[in-house]
């Protein structure tokens, strides 16, 4: 069967700091190709819409799947679906991915017939049975499928994440994937799932708090096949299990694989096993993203981060000693006033790390979607990108955005200060020599993208598609939030506290 897979355009954040390959979609593509189907992929983060239009007309897909990891992409995906149905009548259109798994029925209804099905949960185990069912009928019986006639059987989970391999070779314009100065940059997955349960996050609810590890051989095989010199490790929390991180490191050493790496982890994981991160720093680990989220104990408790400010600060010291550049994330509460912004700015200027800000956003799949008592001020999908305020702000909204952007800008200037500029200039020169311009563009584009007027104006756009109303549920049984329910083979990490 001819299958076209599409990733929607980049969101605000990706215009500046990074733009990475859609690894999940590539794995779905890999699974479909392994099952003998003819597959093409269009990633609108790096390709123009005209490429998609051409593919629709020339390839004439029999099935078209759109990846929806991000809520903010849903309106765009519905419009694409309607266009595809018009251009290729008879094409079976379906959506899949992280975010759409939590709002499948609502999106189906909103699409008004342009979308035939939504796949909840992991895409690899479902794609071959789905394509067969499209040909032979009985789509409703495919696990994880939601159609106009309701939910089919529960989504299936991969036993092992070693296969299928992502179909990286199907991607065009790979040189446009980058993160900061790691330009160009590929992505890789060593583990899947997260055993913690932070209240603002849906990573754990999607996978039902399961945690799976790739075998060290498969992880190293995948790394060795990557052409790019830089690699982003997509794991929610890297190296939770030190022996797993070590075993992959041993394979990488044995095979002499040399790359620069960027990963995300937690402060307590780094503090418990700094030796693993030290080993990886020798192998090329350059950047680490730590989701600190709050600088005080009250904020950390509120997000159920199960970590103390002290641990966070100690982790920063450890990373500094290892020579790893750290980016930290802090969650901005829309309730912040001028004084709170000032305190946070002061903190951000006092540490050498890069500080990112995301706005506290209740979204489907998270616990706070059901428990946050503040009313949503908007249900426009496009504003649910953690860069916009969707609950009431204490400051008038325009002033909130001015403070937010001012805080981001102060920090951006800190990093573009003279000292950093020299360091960055070296990377810039190196990248430009190789024809890589993503990092250079990022350095100068900040003011254009992060602009309080633009953010405020985003709230004024006419709204066609809205999120459903949040339903308060009794969070006593948190399995109600899960997309996947763990089978007996998927164990929780014993190191995580509960």
Select from ligand B12, ligand SF4, none the partner in contact with residue 196, using the beta carbon and a kind-dependent cut-off of 5 to 8 Å.
Answer: ligand SF4
Contact status: 64 vs ligand B12 (CB under 6 A) = no
Which of the stretches 79-87, 93-101, 413-421, 463-471 binds ligand B12 when contact is defined by CB under 6 A?
93-101
Residue 350 to residue 322: CA distance in whole angstroms: 20
Please, which residue, 91 or 360, has the CB nearer to ligand SF4? 360
Select from ligand SF4, ligand B12, none the partner in contact with residue 369, using the beta carbon and a kind-dependent cut-off of 5 to 8 Å.
Answer: none
User: How far from the centroid of its chain's Cα atoms is residue 274's Cα?
Assistant: 25
Which residues in 87-126 are b (16+ Cβ under 10 Å) and which e? Answer: bbeebbbbbbbbbbbbbbebbbebbeebbbbbbbbbbbbb
Binding letters toward ligand B12, positions 191-230, x by CB under 6 A: ----------xxx--x------------------------
Contact status: 237 vs ligand SF4 (CB under 6 A) = yes
User: For 143, what's the count of Cα atoms within 13 Å in the CB-facing half-sphere?
Assistant: 16
Contact status: 98 vs ligand SF4 (CB under 6 A) = no
The Cα angle at residue 114 between residues 112 and 116, in degrees rounded to 5: 100
| 75 close to 107: Cβ distance less than 8 angstroms | no
Contact status: 24 vs ligand B12 (CB under 6 A) = yes
Q: Which of 97, 144, 208, 291 binds ligand SF4 (CB under 6 A)?
A: 291
Looking at residue 165, the DSSP 8-state letter turns out to be P
Residue 150 to residue 436: CA distance in whole angstroms: 47
Which of the stretches 53-61, 96-104, 312-320, 442-450 binds ligand B12 when contact is defined by CB under 6 A?
96-104
Which of the stretches 117-125, 196-204, 247-255, 364-372 binds ligand SF4 when contact is defined by CB under 6 A?
196-204
Phi, psi of 486 (to 5 degrees): -65, 140
Select from ligand B12, ligand SF4, none the partner in contact with residue 16, using the beta carbon and a kind-dependent cut-off of 5 to 8 Å.
Answer: none
Which of the stretches 10-18, 293-301, 318-326, 413-421 binds ligand B12 when contact is defined by CB under 6 A?
10-18
Structure tokens at 241: 């299990």
Residue 297 to residue 261: CA distance in whole angstroms: 31
Give 313's contacts (C-beta < 8 A, 6+ positions apart).
Answer: none
Give alpha helix (H) positions in 337-491: 338-350, 367-371, 397-415, 418-433, 438-449, 452-458
Residue 343 DSSP SS3: helix
Residue 218 DSSP SS3: helix
Residue 312 to residue 290: CA distance in whole angstroms: 9
Residue 458 to residue 451: CA distance in whole angstroms: 11
Please, which residue, 265 or 455, has the CB nearer to ligand SF4? 265
Contact status: 164 vs ligand B12 (CB under 6 A) = no
The nearest distance, CB 319 to ligand SF4, in angstroms, is 17
Phi, psi of 115 (to 5 degrees): -115, 125
Contact status: 14 vs ligand B12 (CB under 6 A) = yes
The Cα angle at residue 382 between residues 300 and 233, in degrees rounded to 5: 55
Which of the stretches 69-77, 391-399, 435-443, 483-491 binds ligand B12 when contact is defined by CB under 6 A?
69-77
| 204 close to 193: Cβ distance less than 8 angstroms | yes
Please, which residue, 201 or 481, has the CB nearer to ligand B12? 201
| 159 close to 421: Cβ distance less than 8 angstroms | no
Residue 230 to residue 23: CA distance in whole angstroms: 15
Contact status: 386 vs ligand B12 (CB under 6 A) = yes
Which of the stretches 163-171, 191-199, 252-260, 463-471 binds ligand SF4 when contact is defined by CB under 6 A?
191-199
Contact status: 67 vs ligand B12 (CB under 6 A) = yes
The nearest distance, CB 418 to ligand B12, in angstroms, is 27
| 253 close to 293: Cβ distance less than 8 angstroms | no
Residue 203 to residue 206: CA distance in whole angstroms: 6
Q: Which of 3, 4, 13, 117 binds ligand B12 (CB under 6 A)?
A: 13
Q: Which of 261, 280, 287, 363 binds ligand B12 (CB under 6 A)?
A: 363
The nearest distance, CB 265 to ligand SF4, in angstroms, is 9
Contact status: 383 vs ligand SF4 (CB under 6 A) = no
Contact positions with ligand B12 (CB under 6 A) in 232-271? 234, 236
Q: Which of 33, 37, 85, 98 binds ligand B12 (CB under 6 A)?
A: 98
Size of the site for ligand B12 (CB under 6 A): 38
Length of the chain: 498
Residue 167 to residue 22: CA distance in whole angstroms: 10
Q: Which of 204, 287, 384, 439 binds ligand SF4 (CB under 6 A)?
A: 204
Residue 283 to residue 289: CA distance in whole angstroms: 17
Please, which residue, 10 or 276, has the CB nearer to ligand B12? 10
Q: Which of 3, 4, 28, 139 binds ligand B12 (CB under 6 A)?
A: 28
Please compute Rg for the chain using Cα positions: 22
Contact status: 330 vs ligand B12 (CB under 6 A) = no
Which of the stretches 87-95, 100-108, 192-200, 458-466 binds ligand SF4 when contact is defined by CB under 6 A?
192-200
| 476 close to 114: Cβ distance less than 8 angstroms | no
Q: Which of 3, 4, 16, 25 binds ligand B12 (CB under 6 A)?
A: 25
**Residue 285: which of 256, 308, 263 has the closest Cα?**
263
What residue ranges bind ligand B12 (CB under 6 A)?
5, 10-11, 13-14, 18, 20, 22-25, 27-28, 65, 67, 69-71, 96-99, 119, 122-124, 189, 201-203, 206, 234, 236, 358, 363, 385-387
What residue ranges bind ligand SF4 (CB under 6 A)?
194, 196-198, 201, 203-204, 236-237, 266, 291
């Amino acid at each position: 069967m001819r299958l076209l897979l599409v990733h929607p355009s980049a969101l605000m954040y990706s215009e500046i700091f990074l733009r990475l390959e859609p690894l999940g979609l590539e794995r779905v593509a890999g699974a479909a190709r392994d099952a003998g189907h003819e597959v093409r992929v269009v990633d609108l983060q790096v390709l123009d819409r005209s490429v998609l239009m051409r593919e629709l007309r020339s390839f004439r897909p029999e099935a078209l799947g759109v990846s929806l990891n991000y809520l903010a992409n849903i309106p765009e995906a519905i419009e694409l679906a309607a266009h595809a149905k018009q251009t290729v009548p008879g094409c079976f259109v379906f959506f899949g991915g992280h975010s759409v798994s939590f709002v499948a029925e609502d999106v189906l209804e909103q699409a008004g017939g342009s979308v035939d099905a939504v796949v909840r949960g992991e895409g690899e185990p479902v794609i071959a049975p789905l394509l067969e069912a499209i040909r032979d009928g009985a789509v409703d019986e495919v696990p994880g499928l939601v159609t106009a006639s309701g939910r089919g059987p529960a989504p299936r989970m991969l036993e092992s994440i070693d296969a299928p391999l992502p179909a990286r070779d199907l991607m065009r314009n790979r040189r446009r994937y980058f993160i900061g100065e790691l330009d160009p940059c590929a992505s890789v997955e060593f583990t899947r799932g997260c055993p913690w349960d932070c209240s603002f996050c849906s990573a754990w609810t999607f996978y039902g708090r399961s945690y799976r590890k790739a075998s060290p051989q498969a992880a190293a095989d995948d790394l060795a096949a990557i052409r790019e010199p830089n690699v982003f490790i997509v794991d929610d929390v890297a190296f939770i299990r030190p022996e797993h991180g070590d075993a992959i490191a041993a394979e990488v050493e044995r095979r002499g694989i040399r790359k620069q790496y960027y990963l995300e982890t937690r402060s307590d994981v780094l503090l418990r096993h700094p030796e693993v991160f030290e080993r990886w720093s020798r192998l090329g680990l350059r950047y680490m993203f730590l989701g600190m989220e709050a600088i005080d104990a009250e904020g950390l408790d509120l997000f159920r981060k199960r970590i103390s400010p002290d641990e966070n600060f100690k982790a920063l010291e450890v990373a500094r000693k290892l020579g790893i550049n750290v980016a930290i994330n802090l969650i901005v509460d829309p309730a912040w006033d001028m004084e709170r912004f000032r305190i946070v700015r002061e903190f951000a200027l006092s540490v050498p790390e890069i500080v990112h800000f995301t706005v506290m956003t209740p979204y489907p799949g998270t616990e706070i979607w059901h428990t946050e008592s503040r009313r949503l001020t908007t249900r426009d999908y496009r504003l649910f990108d953690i860069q916009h305020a969707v609950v009431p702000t204490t400051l008038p909204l325009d002033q909130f955005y001015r403070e937010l952007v001012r805080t981001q800008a102060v920090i951006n200037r800190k990093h573009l200060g003279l000292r950093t500029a020299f360091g960055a200039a070296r990377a810039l020169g190196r990248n430009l020599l190789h024809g890589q311009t993503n990092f250079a563009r990022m350095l100068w584009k900040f003011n254009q993208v992060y602009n309080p007027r633009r953010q405020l104006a985003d709230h004024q756009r006419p709204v066609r598609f809205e999120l459903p109303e949040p339903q308060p549920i009794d969070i006593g049984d948190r399995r109600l939030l899960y997309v996947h329910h763990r089978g007996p083979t998927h164990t929780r990490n014993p190191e995580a506290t509960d």
